[in-house]
Amino acid sequence: MKKKKRRAVLLAVVMLLAMTPMTAFAVPEDEVIAVVIGNSDGTGIGLDADTPYYVNGDLSATDVEPQNWNAYFDAGSSTLYLNNLSISGYYKYHDSYYWTTGLLARRDLTISVSGTNTIRNTAPDTTAFPANYNGLLAWSNDEVTSGQNYDLVITSSDGGSLEVSTPSQTAQDNNGIVCKEMAISGSAQVKATGGVSTASDSSGITARSLAVSGSAQVEATASDAGRESMGVAAVHSTTSAVTVSGNASLKASSGTSNTNVNCGIYTGTFSASGNAQVEARGNSGSGYSAGIYARGGSVVIEDSASVYAAGGESRASSITAWNGSYGVMCLGLTSQTFFDATLTIKGGSLTAIGNQWAVYWNPVDLSGYTAPYTVTSSANIDGSNPATYAPNDNQTYKYLSIALHEHQWGESWTGASTHHWHECLAAGCPVTDNSAKDGYAEHVYNQKVVDDGYKANGATCTEPAEYYYSCVCGAKGAETFISGEATGHDWGEPVWNWAEDYSSATVTFTCQNDQSHTASPEVTVTSRTTAASCTESGETTYTASATFNGMNYTDTKTAGIHATGHTPGTKWMSDGTNHWHECTACGEKLDEVAHSFEWVTDKAATATEAGSKHEECTVCGYKKASVEIPATGTSSEPAEPSEPTEPTEPAGTPSASGDETDSTTAPATGDNTNVILWLAILLTAGAALTGTVMYRRKRAYNR
């Protein structure tokens, strides 16, 4: 039930807020809100114990999830935690005078930064007078009185940064951070920039005192101004102070000023200690310009702190105490006298540069600087042509550098015949006796340095290199030692030497490191022959092989074999058309010509029986198939012709054997005595015809 009731109340509040105009969140003038964040219309967003959270771009300060906030105000410790805050707006905290700021604190406040945070006052310029533009301000909201500044601490445990800036140009005051007493500590990184003020002042940080400690890094930058331009302005009183200590660093620079003063650091007293690093630069102005101006008359540098202070170029027509350019102005204002000021250097270093004087007004007190130090002074602002420093003649110097002398012993050795030492490379080293220099000692030759500069004999194929012992300073002794390995033989390519008939060979290897070293391993020669044919040449390949140093080497030579030519056989080979001899080696046909045929009688014909004959080559003896010679008997009637098996020669022409055929007389008609003979002839003729036909078919098949 409680949850439902709380939800109902929350819903009612949300509905009420939704119906309420946004301007209702403007901070009323009669309320005192601890922290006010500027927004786009100048009304501001308040943070206090009831509404401690702010999210970038949220126009209402509401209670949000802790992991989402960019600003959180802890009222109990008066600490504002910033986590990647981004403000681009303004809060008009004084309506009558149009005073604006990016973020306003109405009490002493500690700001703890984490991540990257930015505060930009984007208020529009106005001609109303007086006006005031601040990036971060710790100030009361009292319009009746002139207000009251509050103390401000900025710190970080994780290197968080805060960048504060004001409009790029206004006609009135333009200040990055304004508070009473200010301290920046831890590992915070703070950058404060005041924009251009065409008619009034510009400053990076304005506070009665500024203390930078730990490993904080601070950069305070002012822009051009109509009156005064100060990187750090801490001079509400001559007792105000700027102190930089530990491993902290401070860079402060001004713009130009049209009618008055500009300084990198403007304070009552200044001190730097520990390992602090300070760089302060003034710029040109119509009045005076200084890197550091200490109106309280005290500047102290000690331990290992480093300070660089340079004034700009003065545009004054006459140089007086108030018109000039100085590196450090250290003045006491008791009864308007300047002789009670002190610039004390107990350690660390100071570099001061001014167009008029490097240090104004009194000599530098170095009585507490017990360690060896060096001083470089010059009438030239770049330090060229250094002069001999005279403590009581500060007005002669435009460049002055005072620093602890730290020996910079060189790494190389300097030595004589018996001893060695390191020289100091730092200018003005007071040590002149070699025996007091770094590493001074007698030579001891116990170093084995393998270098050509100490080589006595180079390595050979069989012996390692030999070197001289040396001293740690590099001096060379007389005794030697060996190092490394023998180079070993570097055998060149094999050189082969063959017997004239290639039956044997030798091989020689020569060391490239020493030509007198040779080796001739055993060589084995093998051969492979490709025989010649009747028409093509053959060859024999000889291969010499040797194994040396774990590798196999070979060389080859080749001897040719001529073609053998054909060898014809004595037996004739033939087919139905030609006869020839065959090569006894390859079987190729040789001497091929056509047959030369003659008739040869196999069986002479008789009166009652047919004979046979054939054609036969007179060269190779090839025989054609036999053909019939008809019987030579007679008849009164012509015999029934039979179908010849081969073309027959005309009757009466010579036969293959040279005989002539006889004329056949047909039997007389009606001669019965020849009937049986005729029947026999007819049967014989029929059988011959049938045999002829079968022969031709078989011959055709064989072909």
Distance in angstroms (rounded) separating the CA atoms of residues 546 and 554: 6
CA separation for the pair 363, 299 (Å, rounded): 12
Same domain, yes or no: 447 and 543: no
- Model confidence pLDDT, tens digit, residues 389-409: 887 777 889 999 998 888 889
For residue range 403-433, list pLDDT tens digits in order: 888 888 999 999 888 999 999 998 777 678 8
Question: Of 324, 355, 371, which one is at a domain's C-terminal end?
Answer: 324
Is residue 140 domain-shared with residue 244, that is, in the same domain? yes
Residue at 396 is within a domain: no
Q: What is the pLDDT of residue 33?
A: 84
pLDDT-above-70 percentage for the chain: 79
DSSP string, 402-430: EEE----B-SS-EE-SSEEEEPB-STT--
Q: Does residue 213 contact residue 205 with C-beta atoms inside 8 Å?
A: no
- Look at the chain and count its residues: 703
* CA triple 386-390-392, angle to 5 deg: 135
Let me know whether 555 and 620 are in one domain.
no
> Is residue 345 in some structural domain?
no
Out of 506, 539, 561, a domain closes at 561
Greater confidence (10 vs 447) lies with 447
Contact 455, 483 (CB under 8 A): no
CA-nearest of 599, 681, 673 to 632 is 681
Q: Do residue 472 and residue 503 come from a single domain?
A: no
Same domain, 464 and 499: no
With respect to residue 399, please indicate whether it lies within any of the assigned structural domains.
no
Instruction: State both tokens at 248.
Output: 């902290």
pLDDT tens profile 234-280 = 976 777 899 999 999 999 999 998 778 899 999 999 999 999 999 99
Helices (H), 263-404: none
For residues 343 and 315, the answer to whether their CB atoms sit within 8 Å is no
Q: Give the mean model confidence (pLDDT) for residues 369-390.
A: 85
The mean of the pLDDT values for the chain is: 81
**Does residue 334 lie in a domain region?**
no
Q: Are residues 549 and 662 in the same domain?
A: no
In a domain, 570, yes or no: no
* Domain-embedded: residue 275: yes
Instruction: Give yes or no: residues 158 and 256 share one domain.
Output: yes
Name residue, tokens 């080559």.
617
Within a domain: residue 402?
no
More confident position, 195 or 64: 195
State the Cα–Cα distance between residues 698 and 690, nearest whole angstrom. 12
Give the residue numbers spanning the domain of 269.
24-324
For tokens 């030697």, what's the residue?
Answer: 480
> Are 505 and 446 in the same domain?
no
Mean pLDDT of 275-296: 89
φ/ψ of 238, rounded to 5, equals -70, -10
444 within domain boundaries:
yes
516 and 444 in a common domain? no
What is the domain count for the chain?
A: 4
Same domain, 179 and 245: yes
Interval 673-702: pLDDT, tens: 444 444 555 565 555 555 544 444 444 433
Pick the last residue of a domain from 293, 324, 355: 324
Same domain, 604 and 508: no
**pLDDT over 90 percentage in the chain:** 47
CA dihedral 558, 562, 563, 568 (to 10 degrees): -140
Position 652 scores a pLDDT of 36
Residues 197 and 229 in one domain: yes
In angstroms, the CA 445 to CA 481 distance is 12
